Amino acid sequence: MNTHTPIKPGLDTEKIKADFPILAREVYGKPLTFLDTAASAQKPRAVIEAETELYEGYYANIHRGVYKFSQDATEAYEANRETVRAFLNAQKGKECIFVRGATEGINLVAQAWGRANVREGDEIILSHMEHHSNIVPWQMLAEEKGAKIRVIPMFDDGALDMEAYASLLNERTRMVAVAHISNSIGVKNPVKEITRLAHDVGALVLIDGCQAAPHMKIDVQDTDADFYAFSAHKAYGPTGIGVIYGKEKHLDAMPPWQGGGDMISTVTFEKTTYNDLPHKFEAGTPNIAGGIAMKVALDYITALGFENIAAHEEELLAYATKELSAFNSLRIIGTAPDKGALISFTMQHAHPHDIGTILDRQGIAVRAGHHCAQPVMDRFGVPGTVRASFGIYNDKSDVDRLIAGLKKVVDIFG
């Protein structure tokens, strides 16, 4: 299998860009400037080739066949579990459950754990900055069980009000579900402190790590969260696969969520017994190619070094913030000092969708809208924002193209 181009210490974005075939494309005759990694990252050639190699060379269903292809595919797929365990610093591989993505992982916990443990009058705490995927599953559970959703408010800079959070916690709190980093405004949350305070009242904690996993070293043992979710496609891997980590004691106590092949031990019409972890929560044929390619993606970014990634992206964010702040008509949403690698903003007289369309014609891909975080937009009194989000392949030249594109927006709208 081909590996990525060797990278010297620090991030050599020119070499990294060469590993991503799509970045050589032009859009409307302009070089592609991809600034939407928070939605879904582009894929290095090694990830693409890993899927192709499976389908061309040894594809078979896994965990079932005794023939060579099935054994080879099973071995390659399960190797990803150890990679994920190390990536999260989980104690055991069986604590890492493969799902279709973070959304399915959150729903799994809300249904399997929530239905067994949440009762009428109990409370679930969310933050004001959550993605819809970390709001709606808990609302559905609360409606079914007669529980109450309580919300941690934000300050004007986007940071969570931790004093208000502490005041929300009580003996009725069963679950606290928060983003590690906001997908809409980039603010990074103090998840270790959030977890400690929740555990003090006997509540569990689920962290949505989608925006953190590709950008910083994750340590679930240090954070002590009970559950941690992330998706491969935001971490330079394939779509359709992700992980929900859970502490072994919780996963053992939880009933299965879906029934079918691989999650069973024995089946009769009188009674079914369930498989051990992690397979108890992995019903049906999984995304085999996705699991194999996910390992390649995680190996790729791990080899770059998270200290290098974080330093590069922090420098890029600081540069973009400085350049954007020079526009009198531009308002940055989310100005807390501790942020991830994205910047969200509005401009006077121009709707975010119009800005996104003008930038697109310059070959610049940004996200425009509410970013599946409508409560955040309501909090700041805007219909949506333009979001420029950075990855390992971005550099200052990409920011310069964004600034040039925004000057065209000013020329058109004033």
**Which DSSP string do the residues of 330-393 spell out, in sequence order?**
EEEE---SSB-SEEEEEETTB-HHHHHHHHHHTTEE-EEE-TT-HHHHHHHT-S-EEEEE--TT
Q: Is 25 helix (H, G, I), strand (E, B) or coil?
A: coil
Active-site hit among 151, 168, 372, 403: 372
Report pLDDT digits (tens) over 272-306: 888 889 999 999 999 999 999 999 999 999 999 99
State the span(s) of the chain assigned CATH 3.40.640.10. 51-302
Phi-psi label, residue 202: left if phi above 0, alpha if psi -120 to 50, beta otherwise = left
CATH 3.90.1150.10 boundaries in the chain: 13-40+306-413
Given a cut of 70, whether residue 9 has pLDDT beyond it is: no
Q: How confident is the model at residue 1 (pLDDT cuts 50, 70, 90)?
A: very low
Domain 13-40+306-413 has what CATH class?
alpha beta
Residue 84 in this model has a pLDDT that exceeds 70: yes
Beta carbons within 8 Å of 118's beta carbon, 6+ residues apart: 124, 141, 142, 145, 147, 174, 175
Q: Which residue has the tokens 């000092």?
A: 337
Is the preceding peptide bond at 286 cis, omega within 30 degrees of 0? no
Angle at CA of residue 243, ends 370 and 49, nearest 5°: 95
Tens of pLDDT, residue by residue over 108-166, are 999 999 999 999 999 999 999 999 999 999 999 999 999 999 999 999 999 999 999 99
Position 4 pLDDT exceeds 80: no
Q: Which CATH class is domain 51-302?
A: alpha beta
Tokens read off for 388: 């420029």
372 catalytic? Reply is yes
Q: Work out the end-to-end distance of the chain between its first and last CA atoms, rounded to an integer number of angstroms.
A: 52
Helices (H), 54-92: 68-88
Exposed (0-12), middle (13-18) or buried (19+): which is 67, by Cβ within 10 Å?
exposed
How confident is the prediction for the chain on average, in pLDDT? 95
